[in-house]
Amino acid sequence: MGIGLRQPHYAELLDSLPALGFVEVHSENFFADGGAALAVLQQARKHYPVSLHGVGLGLGSAAGLDPWHLDRLARLVDRVDPARVSDHACFARAALHGGDVVHANDLLPIAFNDASLALMVGHVSQVQERLGRTMLVENLSSYLSFSDDSMREPEFFAQLCRRSGCGMLLDVNNLMVNALNAGVRDPVAHCRAFVDALPMGIVGEIHVAGYCQADDLVIDDHGSRVRPEVWALCAHALQRFGAVPVLVEWDTDVPALAVLLSEAAHAESLSHG
Amino acid sequence: MDEARRQRDLLHALGGTGIDGLREQGARAARGLAAYRANAEATADRALAAAFATVRAMVGPEDFRRLARAFWEAHPPQRGDLGEWGDAFPPWLQAHADLAAWPYLGDCARLDLALHRNERAADAALDAGSLTLLESTDPARLHLRLMPGTTLLRSAWPVVSIHRAHQLDPAAADPAFAAVRAAIAAQVGEDALVVREGWRAVVHPLAGAEARWTEGLLSGANLDDALRSAGASFDFAAWLQNALRRQWLNAVVAVHDGPQALHGTPS
Interchain pair A104, B119: CB under 8 A: no
Domain spans, chain A: 2-268
Distance CA A135, CA A47 (A): 22
Interchain pair A102, B1: CB under 8 A: no
- Give the pLDDT confidence score for residue A271 in this predicted structure: 83
- Give the pLDDT confidence score for residue B40 in this predicted structure: 95
**Closest alpha carbon to A168 in A82, A244, A248, A58:** A244
CATH superfamily name and code, A2-268: Divalent-metal-dependent TIM barrel enzymes (3.20.20.150)
What b/e string do you get for B112-150 counting C-beta neighbours within 10 Å, with b at 16 or more?
Answer: bbbbbbbbbbbbbebeeebeebeeebebeebbbbbbbbb
- E strands, chain B, where? 142-146, 151-155, 190-197, 200-206, 249-254
Mean pLDDT across chain A, nearest whole number? Answer: 96
**Closest alpha carbon to A175 in A156, A189, A162:** A189
pLDDT tens, residue order, chain B (267 aa): 789 999 999 998 888 777 889 999 888 899 999 999 999 999 999 999 999 999 999 999 999 999 999 999 999 999 999 999 999 999 999 999 999 999 999 999 999 999 999 999 999 999 999 999 999 999 999 999 999 999 999 999 999 999 999 998 888 888 889 999 999 999 999 999 999 999 999 999 999 999 999 999 999 999 999 999 999 999 999 999 999 999 999 999 998 755 444 443 333
For A13-53, how does the pLDDT look when each residue is reduced to its tens digit (9 = 90+)?
999 999 999 999 999 999 999 999 999 999 999 999 999 99
Domain spans, chain B: 1-102, 123-267
Neighbours of A198 (CB within 10 A): 21
Classify strands A246-249 and A203-209 as parallel, antiparallel or unpaired: parallel
Chain B residue at shortest CA distance from A27 = B81
Distance CA B66, CA B44 (A): 10
**Closest alpha carbon to A39 in B124, B266, B127, B244:** B124
Question: Does position A98 have pLDDT exceeding 90, yes or no?
Answer: no
- Give the pLDDT confidence score for residue B36 in this predicted structure: 95
Contact status, residue A24 vs residue A3, Cβ threshold 8 Å:
yes
| Residue numbers in A near B30 (CB within 8 A) | none
H/E stretch holding A95 reads: strand A91-96
| pLDDT, average across residues A57-76 | 98
Tell me if chain B has a CB within 8 Å of the CB of A100.
Answer: yes
Band (A96; pLDDT cuts 50, 70, 90): confident
H/E stretch holding B34 reads: helix B26-51
Question: Does position A76 have pLDDT exceeding 60, yes or no?
Answer: yes
Tell me if chain B has a CB within 8 Å of the CB of A92.
Answer: yes
Band (A125; pLDDT cuts 50, 70, 90): very high
Q: pTM of the prediction? A: 0.94
Write the ipTM. Answer: 0.93
Question: Does position A121 have pLDDT exceeding 90, yes or no?
Answer: yes
Band (A273; pLDDT cuts 50, 70, 90): low
Query: Mutation test of the interface with chain B: which of A25, A27, A30, A33, choosing the one with the most B Cβ atoms within 10 A?
Result: A33
- Give the pLDDT confidence score for residue B257 in this predicted structure: 53
| Residue numbers in B near A104 (CB within 8 A) | 11, 14, 40, 76
| Residue numbers in A near B28 (CB within 8 A) | 216
Q: Which of A57, A115, A145 has the CB atom closest to B23's CB atom?
A: A145
